[in-house]
Structure 1
C-alpha cells in the first residue's frame, strides 16, 4: 500500500509542477493600437439568448479597426432578427446566412469557413456565440500574434458557472490545460501534438488560415480547438496560448445535462480513444482521486500511518494545484473542494463516449447527427 501511495503522490506532483511553470508563462497579452482590420467571426445556431450581448461586446472593441460577421446557421429562433436589430445601427456588423450543410462537414466548421470567405480582415478572431469580449481583447491578441510571430493565438475565457452541474464539469478545461500541457515545450517546438487552443476564442492570421485550407481542411472535426492549431503546426506555423480570463467571459452550458452533452461531443476527438483514455485515467484517477481513497482507508484504520501521511501529502498537493489554477483563472472558489468529484465526472464522460462510440459510432450536437470521423 505504501508503493500505491507513493505512486499517487508522484501523479499528483506532475500537474503541480507543470501548473507552477505554466501559470508563470501564460500571461494576459498587452493591447497595442493597430491599423490592420480584425474580422470578429461568430457562428450562431439558435443563439437568441446570447447573440445580442455578444455582438455588442464585440462592437465595443478598441484600439484596432474591426468588423463583426455573424453566420446564421439555419436558426429557428430570433437569432437573425436580434442581429439585424443591432446591425441597423452599426454598419460594422453584418449578418450572413450560412448555406446548407454539405456532406462531410460539421456545422461549426462550415459556418466558420463561410464567414472567413466573406471576411475582409488581416486577422480572423473566431468566437463562440456565448463569448463576451473585453474591449481590448482583439487588440491584445493581434499584438501578441505580431510580437511572437504566431499564426494562431488562443486563450480560455473566464468561465461563468452558476449551477452545481457546471461547477462539476467546466473547471476541468483549465485544470487539464494548465496541469498537463508543457507550455514551454509547446512554444519551443512546432510538434503538432503540442498544439492546443480553446475553440471559444481563436485568433488566426488570414494568410496562414488560407494557406492551410482553414476550417475546410478539418471539415469533419467536432473539435477545432484541437485540430486547427495542429493543422497550422504541420505546415510550419507557430501557435501560442495566452491567459484568456481577462480578455473574455463565457458561460458554456446551463446545467449538468448540457455540460455532459457538450463535453461528450468534444471527447470524440480528445481523450476518448482506446490508446489515450487508459493513460488519462491513470494520470487523473491516480493523482487526483486515489489519494482521497487512501486517506479514507487510513482514517478507517485499514492502512498504516505512513501510508496515510503520504496520501495526505498527495491530497494537499492536488488541492493546492487546483486552488492555484482556480484563483488565477478567476473561477469560483466553491469549485475547489469539488475537484475529486469533477475528475470522476470527467472520466465518466470520457469512458461513456468511448464505449458508446464502439456501439454507435455517432455524435449529436445542435440538432445534427454526425458519424465519428466522417460525414454528418
Structure 2
C-alpha cells in the first residue's frame, strides 16, 4: 500500500489535485480563476492574496484597517520603517496589516511590498505519516483534516481535528504532524505565527478515483463535516472543474465564502455569481478586498463587471484593461478574445454621447 498527503496552506489553499498549466475550454469562471492562480504560481509570480491567510495569534481576528487614499503613503512609510527595524512579532504583524490596508487604499507600492515581504512556511522536518494499520488492512481511502498553528519558532501546536475524528489512526497522524518542524512564515524576515490546515489523504495503492468518485467523496465530506471550510472549498473547486451547472455549486461557493471570508477565490467567485444575478453592490463588496493585491485577471474581470453594473465607468474600464494586460500569451485564444471584447463593450457603453450641433436657421 502507498499513502499520499496533501496540505491546505495559508496561501495556496488547494485541496485534492492541483491543476497547473493552461486549462482546456469550455471551463467555468471558477475553474479558470483557480487554474490561473496555479499557472501564475508556477511561473513564480508573487502571492496575490487569493487564498485564506490568517496570521497572528488572535482567536478573533481584528477588523481590517480602512484607510483613505491620502492616508496610505504615510501609514505605509511608518509600517516599512517598523519592519526594517527589530520589531517583535506583534509589532511586525501590526505593521504588515497596515501595509495591506495601504494596498487596499490603492497604493501600488504597498501592494508590491506586501507580496514580496510575505514568505510561506517550508518543512524542515516533514510529518512522518504512515498508513494506519486498520485502514491498510481494509484497503480504505481516508481523509483527515487538522487545523493547527505553526509558531514563530517553527513548531506545530494547538491542533484540533476538523475531519476524520473517528477514523483509525487519527491520533497517530496528529502526533506525526505535531512532531514536524517548519521554517516559519516571515514578514520582511521577521518570523510570525500562522494558522495552517493539514489535509491528510490516504490512498490505497493502485486506486485512482475517477471524476464521479471525487465528486461523490467531496459531497460526502460536507455532509459529514458541515462546518469544515476545507470540505466546502474542496467541493466548490471540484464542482467548478467538473459540474459548475450543478445547483449545489452556488451553495458550495456561498458556504465557502461564509466559512472563509479571507479566501480570495471564494470571495471572487461568490462576487461573480452575484454579478450574474445583477447584484452589483454586494458583488463589489465581496471582491474589493482582493482586487488591489491580485494579479489574477478573473478577479479583475469580476470587479470590472460589478463596477460597470454600478455605472462606475472609469473604474470598470481600468480594471478590465488591467485584466486584459495580465492574461498570459499561453492562455486560450478564446478567453483572450473574450476579455478584449468585453473591454470594447465597456468602452462603447462608457463613451460620452456625441455632441449634436444646432441646425442652421434656413431663413
TM-score (norm 1): 0.22
- Which protein has greater RCO, CA pairs closer than 8 Å, 6+ apart? 1
Structure with the greater alpha carbon radius of gyration: 2
